[in-house]
Amino acid sequence: MLRRTLGVLTVLVVAACSSEESRIPTASPTLAFNQPDGVDLDGTADLIVDAKSTENKWRIKTENLPANFCSVQEGNVTPGERRLLRFTVTTPNIGDADVYIGDPNEHYAAGDGLYELSTCHGHYHFRNYAEYRLISAADNKTWRSAKAGFCMLDTDPYLPEMRDSPRNYRNCGFPGYPGFQGISAGWSDTYVWKLGGQYFVLDGGDGQQAVPEGWYWIQVTVNPGFAPTGKKGCTRATDPSGLCHNFAESNYANNVMRVKIYIPATGPAGPYRNEKDPTAADEIEHAGR
């Protein structure tokens, strides 16, 4: 494999938060987070969505959502007591090359459309990385989630042979400080259920119809396709059907995952129904994830 080793870019240290890096920098400039082992560009990435991660890590419960939560503001959610379906999403790269994005500051400055600036979070959101939908098994009616933006990092080794390998991508970055985003071949990027926006509002508190009792699909599409716009058409990648994508993959047919769950009329449900509620610190520290 061809490995292109990238130079060190020293940024503010990022405090550890469970198995991921925190999104909020602290005041120590001594640790270099942009010091990867190397970037594998020989081959093509292939993203999938891990069904077991979602199947085993979801819950329904009523929570208090304060008005200052960015997910509330960006998801147009009415603050207060809301009945939520929270869920974890893991997106492994099973290809033979990295998804390489690099520094969002460079993409934003170039105006290439990959990132938008979140004024609430104070950093960049990757656009169109994944699409979350809740779909009725009875009539295919669809609800959108509150998730607004993404940051691609190596959070978990997916292939057994990668368990002792270094993490190349571990810094989201923010305006004025370089990030280093991507997903290494054999690694995955996990968006845990506690993160801001990792939920569907079930009681109609986001302007959508309330979700009635019944069977539903949690559907996740990674690197979703979109129709060409303007004269330029697809500027980054095109699948066999002619749809555009934000980055190239060897296989676009495996980008959609569905998990079937039952939503009761009342009360908590799901494997994580007894877990502690996310706090304001979770919303802040995981901003952008």
Residue 233 lies in a domain: yes
| Mean pLDDT of the residues in the chain | 85
Map the chain to HEC letters. Answer: CCEECCCCECCCCEEEECCEEEEEECCCCCCCCECCCCEECCCCCCECCCHHHHHHCEEEEEEEECCCCHHHHHCCCCCEEEEEEEECEEEEECCCCCEEEECHHHHHHHCCCCEEEECCCCEEEECCCEEEEEEECCCCCEEECCCCCECCCCCEECCHHHCCCCCCCCECCECCECCEEEECCCEEEEECCCCCCCEEECCCCCCCCCCCCEEEEEEEEECCCECCCCCCCCCCEECCCCCEECCCCCCCCCCEEEEEEEECCCCCECCCCCCCCCCHHHHHHCCCC
Task: Give the residue, 244 or 120, on which the prediction is more confident.
Answer: 244
More confident residue, 116 or 25: 116
Residue that wins the pLDDT comparison between 80 and 13:
80
Q: Is the pLDDT of residue 237 over 80?
A: yes
pLDDT of residue 38: 75
Comparing C-alpha atoms, which of 131, 106, 114, 143 is closest to residue 47? 131
Which range is least confidently modeled, 14-23, 41-50, 188-197? 14-23
pLDDT at res. 94:
96
Q: How confident is the model at residue 149 (pLDDT cuts 50, 70, 90)?
A: confident
Taking residue 189's Cβ as centre, other Cβ atoms within 10 Å add up to 29
Mean pLDDT of the region 142-169: 89
> How many structural domains is the chain composed of?
1
Exposed, middle or buried by CB within 10 Å (0-12, 13-18, 19+), for 187?
A: buried
Residue 60 has a pLDDT of 98
Quickly state the pLDDT bin for 26 (edges 50, 70, 90). Answer: very low
Has residue 284 got a pLDDT over 90?
Answer: no
Place of tokens 């007591």: 81
In a domain, 116, yes or no: yes
Of these ranges, 73-77, 116-120, 167-171, 260-264, the one predicted with the greatest mean pLDDT is 260-264
pLDDT of 13 > 70? The answer is no
Q: Does a structural domain hold residue 189?
A: yes
pLDDT for 22 equals 36
3: in domain? no
pLDDT of residue 31 exceeding 60: no
Tens of pLDDT, residues 153-165: 999 999 888 888 8
Checking if the pLDDT of 134 tops 90, the result is yes
Rounded average pLDDT over 274-284: 81
Give yes or no for residue 32 having a pLDDT over 70. no
User: When comparing pLDDT for 159 and 4, which is higher?
Assistant: 159
The whole-number pLDDT of residue 20 equals 36
**Type of residue at 19:** S
Out of 26-35, 56-65, 132-141, least confident range: 26-35
Instruction: Assign 233 a pLDDT band (cuts: 50, 70, 90).
Output: confident
Residue 2 is assigned to a structural domain of this protein = no
Residue 93 has pLDDT above 90, yes or no: yes
**Which domain covers residue 103, as residue numbers?**
8-285
- Is 84 among the domain residues? yes
Pair 101, 181: CB distance under 8 Å: yes
Alpha-carbon distances, residue 95 vs 161, 185, 215, 256 (angstroms): 14, 6, 33, 16
Confirm whether 1 is domain-assigned. Answer: no
Q: pTM, whole model, 2 decimals?
A: 0.85
174 inside domain: yes
